[in-house]
Amino acid sequence: MLQIDHLLVHPVLLMEVTDMQLGIPEAKARLPDLVRRVKAGEETVLTRHGHAVVRLVAVHAKTSAKNRAELIDAVRAQAAAKATAGATAARS
């Protein structure tokens, strides 16, 4: 796996419909533009001799432990609010 700026380049196992497909030589010439576009949410597949080789996708910032804990607490609170009390609680 190759990291360029905030992008990870992943091998493409199955070809999917993407925002953009272009050959590796063209991608080299347009790398700054590709980085900008992928960071904005587009997906790009690079091809070699017409066959998909890699997919460029943006790497999202990792959430902090504090943010994850807050999210887990919020989900637990929502689940507790939905839970029903009584004999059927195990099946709710």
pLDDT digits (tens, 9 = 90+) for 19-72: 688 998 999 999 999 999 888 888 889 999 989 999 988 887 666 788 888 889
Say what the pLDDT of residue 67 is: 80
The Cα–Cα gap between 92 and 83 comes to: 7
Which residues, in sequence order, are CB contacts of 3 under 8 Å at separation 6+? Answer: 9, 59
Q: How many residues does the chain have?
A: 92
In the chain, where are the structural domains located? 1-82
Say what the pLDDT of residue 87 is: 66
